[in-house]
Chain A
Amino acid sequence: MVSIHHYLVVSAILFSLGTFGVLTRRNAIVIFMCIELMLNAVNLSFIALSSYLGNMDGQVFVFFVMTVAAAEAAVGLALMIAFFRNKESIDVEDFNLLKW
């Protein structure tokens, strides 16, 4: 049967994939997408545990996470637009002015 373990493992795999993407990819939009992936992995984990434990808290928290994710995506995209206006590129390797 499909038990809680399967959901948690899928969630972990998705989270790791997201982390790997944040650390490796150069395109800023792709990094944002990976962050969204991490957030959704956590959402999956919350829902699974809420169903398993019979407690509504997990599902309520998912709403919070989704709201935050949406707001963060909006702010992040605005940041990228500002960056692009200055540097003509959204490659994170170009954002190195705060170097020593």
Chain B
Amino acid sequence: MKLWLIPFFPLVGFLINGLFGKKIKNEKIIGTIGTLAIFLSFLVSCTYFAKLVSGDIVVLEEVVARWMDVGALKVSWGFLLDPLSGIMIMVVTGIASLIHLYSIGYMHGEEGFFRFFAYLNLFCFSMLMLVLGNNAMVMFIGWEGVGLCSYLLIGYYFEKKSAGDAAKKAFVVNRVGDFGFLLGIFTLFWTMGTEHGIWTLNFTEIAANGHLLGTGGVVTVVTLCFFLGATGKSAQIPLYTWLPDAMEGPTPVSALIHAATMVTAGVYMIGRMNGLFAQSPDTMMVVAVVGAATAIFAASIGLAQNDIKRVLAYSTVSQLGYMFLAMGVGAWTAGIFHLMTHAFFKACLFLGSGSVIHGMHHALHHAHSHDDPQDMRNMGGLGKYMPITKWTFLISTLAIAGIPGLAGFFSKDEILWWAFSSTRGNQILWFIGACAAGMTAFYMFRCVFMTFYGEERITPKAKGHVPESPLVITLPLMILATGAALAGYVGVPAALGGSNRIEHFLAPVFEPAQHAHHIMVNHAIPHSVEYGLMGLSIGIALVGIALAYVMYIKNPQLPGKFVSTFKAAHRVVFNKWYVDEIYDALFVNATKRFATFCWKGFDVVVVDGIVNGVGKLVNICSNGLRYTQTGFVHNYALSMVVGVVVMVAIYVFR
């Protein structure tokens, strides 16, 4: 049993499906290879996780081979298992296995079936390298790999121009973040090396020696660079614009990559390097502010969207904002906890939306209609045709809204409590988070009510023809909904009488830095305040749900009236605050003009000019010299004689 088996199985799955998938053709075999590969990883992860829980392993570092050995830079292919990566591998392999199973049913009949599974396995390999890497370079391999797979999978329907554009946008915006990540690695390596003689990129060594860099100054620069990488990968302000467009990809992709795993890479990275972040209070404040701002900003856009996947996309950006808010105020355990619960309910929501879209597609096809199967304005009352989808979706929505008893409540509440009371927290951040929570409850329930309840707005010929999805699709939904309901119980806080097992589990990873820098909840605040805040967030969530009920079930004309009263505000929010247009004007068009200049003004004129010019020069010279070839033997003989005379003359008259 070796750690490297965990990323190895999906890699093998990718190679088999990628190289031979086209010949295999049998969907069941391809799907089984892909799902089995990741499921085996899951089993291996389970055995390691069990050892972590029982205490057999505290930290396990496994070096497989040397990679780079250049002067002071010594990087190897190594894997690190500790409680943090243990949770991550469970989340990644577990949810990926379910989504692979789901995809067998969802992607049935697709032309590029094997390609999908190959890319999905490659993604799992990259993500597992990212979370298991024991040094920044292996993590960066995974970091880049997931970006690549995101591009490949968003652009899966590459014949559609919008899909190709979305894929390119995702990759380019991600790249800007990757640039920051690389700068962070370089600065860290260089500073640690030149100032303290420690040349390393290994996480354990960084954690042990990071304190030598002191607080502020260089550490702030390094951590801000890393955070820039995180904003790109995890879709925070300013690099979030790719995520809503990424919904062009198939729904399982949206569920796996853009909800449960890839976008959480940034949060994991901050958790992995918590020591460095703790040394820079400025960066942590930046992280928290950006997180809170993103949470409320994305929630505001989600209020007005009509495409079911867009709503979920903005919800993801918003929830990621919560995770970064947590990491920024020092609530690292809460951030990872929310990552875990979010993975369950967001994957369930996305897969559920996939089930709905699948059913709508079927019905609209039957009615020969060209309506958009993803537009919620064409849905309504689907609950009676798709009960399993409805119930799993409802449970996950209750979880994301933060209703007590379900997973989201415990994790979200922990974050808000820390935002309020931590030594690195701020009441204003709590307030923004609470407002965003209310908005979350509202727009998620708006989504549920518009899709599953109320009057059926689907085109009349298709009424009654929306089928419930097959078991391959509903089984993962049920498993994930169970997770969404129960996963929160590992983190019941002390205030509610629980033992907060996840906090104790992750303590060896986070506590050293938290103790050293006094990052903790302010114990002077009485429990009553904590209960009060909890009650407030439940209250806000209930208000949101009630408002959604009133506006979409009881009084369906209200939304229309609201929009016409606040036309301008609605237009701004519906058009995503025109951020894409602003970026186009500021960056994209200027870059396009520069690129066109480089092409037409430099490459064609200068480079091609030089190359073609050399050719022309040779041409001119030879045009001149050709006249020496007269064809007369006598001329050639004369030139030989003249040459001999000249040479002899030189020797004689030297």
CA distance A97 to B632 in the complex (A): 9
Contact A100 B626 (CB under 8 A): yes
Contact B627 A95 (CB under 8 A): no
Contact B629 A23 (CB under 8 A): no
Contact B637 A22 (CB under 8 A): yes
Distance between A2 CB and nearest chain B CB, rounded to angstroms: 25
Contacting A at CB under 8 A, from B595-638, are: 626-627, 629-634, 637-638
Q: A92 an interface residue at 8 Å Cβ cutoff?
A: yes
Distance between B63 CB and nearest chain A CB, rounded to angstroms: 71
Q: A89 an interface residue at 8 Å Cβ cutoff?
A: no
Q: CB-CB contacts of B54-76 with A at 8 A, as 1s and 0s?
A: 00000000000000000000000
Taking CB atoms, residues of chain B closer than 8 Å to A23 are: 634, 637-638, 641
B630 is contacted by which of A22, A24, A92, A100 (Cβ under 8 Å)?
A: A100
Contacting B at CB under 8 A, from A1-50, are: 19, 22-24
CA distance A79 to B107 in the complex (A): 79
Contact A92 B633 (CB under 8 A): yes
CA distance A39 to B332 in the complex (A): 101
Task: Give A26's nearest chain B residue, CB to CB.
Answer: B634
Contact B629 A92 (CB under 8 A): no
Distance between A100 CB and nearest chain B CB, rounded to angstroms: 4
Taking CB atoms, residues of chain A closer than 8 Å to B633 are: 92, 95
Distance between A37 CB and nearest chain B CB, rounded to angstroms: 14
Contacting B at CB under 8 A, from A52-93, are: 92-93
Task: Give B645's nearest chain A residue, CB to CB.
Answer: A19
CA distance A99 to B632 in the complex (A): 8
Known: A19-B641, A23-B641. A96 touches B630 (CB 8 A): yes
Task: Give B636's nearest chain A residue, CB to CB.
Answer: A98
Contact B637 A96 (CB under 8 A): no
Contacting A at CB under 8 A, from B156-170, are: none
Taking CB atoms, residues of chain B closer than 8 Å to A92 are: 632-634
Task: Give B641's nearest chain A residue, CB to CB.
Answer: A19
Task: Give B630's nearest chain A residue, CB to CB.
Answer: A99
Known: A19-B641, A22-B637, A23-B641. A96 touches B627 (CB 8 A): no
Contact A100 B637 (CB under 8 A): no
Q: How many residues of A contact B (CB 8 A)?
A: 12
Taking CB atoms, residues of chain A closer than 8 Å to B630 are: 96, 99-100
The CB with the most chain B CB atoms within 10 A, among A95, A97, A99, is that of A99
Taking CB atoms, residues of chain A closer than 8 Å to B632 are: 92-93, 96
Task: Give B644's nearest chain A residue, CB to CB.
Answer: A19
Known: A23-B634, A92-B634. A100 touches B629 (CB 8 A): yes
CA distance A100 to B637 in the complex (A): 17
Taking CB atoms, residues of chain B closer than 8 Å to A95 are: 631, 633
Task: Give A24's nearest chain B residue, CB to CB.
Answer: B634
Known: A19-B641, A23-B641. A99 touches B631 (CB 8 A): yes
Taking CB atoms, residues of chain B closer than 8 Å to A22 are: 637
Taking CB atoms, residues of chain A closer than 8 Å to B626 are: 100
Distance between A15 CB and nearest chain B CB, rounded to angstroms: 11
Contact B629 A99 (CB under 8 A): yes
CA distance A99 to B626 in the complex (A): 9
CA distance A95 to B631 in the complex (A): 7
The CB with the most chain A CB atoms within 10 A, among B626, B629, B632, B633, is that of B633
Taking CB atoms, residues of chain A closer than 8 Å to B641 are: 19, 23
A97 is contacted by which of B631, B634, B637, B638 (Cβ under 8 Å)?
A: B631
Taking CB atoms, residues of chain A closer than 8 Å to B637 are: 22-23
CA distance A45 to B634 in the complex (A): 26
CA distance A37 to B309 in the complex (A): 101
Contact B634 A100 (CB under 8 A): no
Distance between A20 CB and nearest chain B CB, rounded to angstroms: 10
Distance between A45 CB and nearest chain B CB, rounded to angstroms: 14
Taking CB atoms, residues of chain B closer than 8 Å to A96 are: 630-632
CA distance A24 to B638 in the complex (A): 10
Contacting A at CB under 8 A, from B243-274, are: none
CA distance A24 to B641 in the complex (A): 13
CA distance A93 to B637 in the complex (A): 13
Taking CB atoms, residues of chain A closer than 8 Å to B634 are: 23-24, 92-93
Task: Give B628's nearest chain A residue, CB to CB.
Answer: A100
Task: Give A99's nearest chain B residue, CB to CB.
Answer: B631
Contacting A at CB under 8 A, from B95-121, are: none
Contact B638 A100 (CB under 8 A): no
Distance between B217 CB and nearest chain A CB, rounded to angstroms: 75
CA distance A100 to B626 in the complex (A): 6
CA distance A19 to B638 in the complex (A): 9
Distance between A98 CB and nearest chain B CB, rounded to angstroms: 5
CA distance A22 to B638 in the complex (A): 9
CA distance A98 to B627 in the complex (A): 11
CA distance A71 to B654 in the complex (A): 37
Distance between A95 CB and nearest chain B CB, rounded to angstroms: 6
Task: Give A96's nearest chain B residue, CB to CB.
Answer: B631
CA distance A92 to B633 in the complex (A): 7
CA distance A19 to B641 in the complex (A): 8
Distance between A83 CB and nearest chain B CB, rounded to angstroms: 11
CA distance A24 to B634 in the complex (A): 7
CA distance A23 to B629 in the complex (A): 17
Task: Give A92's nearest chain B residue, CB to CB.
Answer: B633
CA distance A99 to B631 in the complex (A): 4
The CB with the most chain A CB atoms within 10 A, among B627, B629, B631, B638, is that of B631
CA distance A6 to B248 in the complex (A): 103
CA distance A74 to B497 in the complex (A): 118
Taking CB atoms, residues of chain A closer than 8 Å to B631 are: 95-100
CA distance A93 to B631 in the complex (A): 9
CA distance A68 to B627 in the complex (A): 34
CA distance A93 to B636 in the complex (A): 12
CA distance A38 to B552 in the complex (A): 116
Distance between B126 CB and nearest chain A CB, rounded to angstroms: 64
Further pairs besides A23-B638, A92-B632: 13, Cβ < 8 Å: A22-B637, A23-B641, A92-B633, A92-B634, A93-B632, A93-B634, A95-B631, A95-B633, A96-B630, A96-B632, A97-B631, A99-B629, A100-B627
Which 4 A/B pairs are nearest by Cβ-Cβ distance? A99-B631, A96-B631, A100-B626, A100-B629
Q: Please, could you name 10 A-B residue pairs with CB atoms under 8 Å apart, sorted by A?
A: A23-B637, A24-B634, A93-B632, A93-B634, A95-B631, A96-B632, A98-B629, A98-B631, A99-B629, A100-B631
Residues of A in contact with B (beta carbons under 8 Å apart):
19, 22-24, 92-93, 95-100
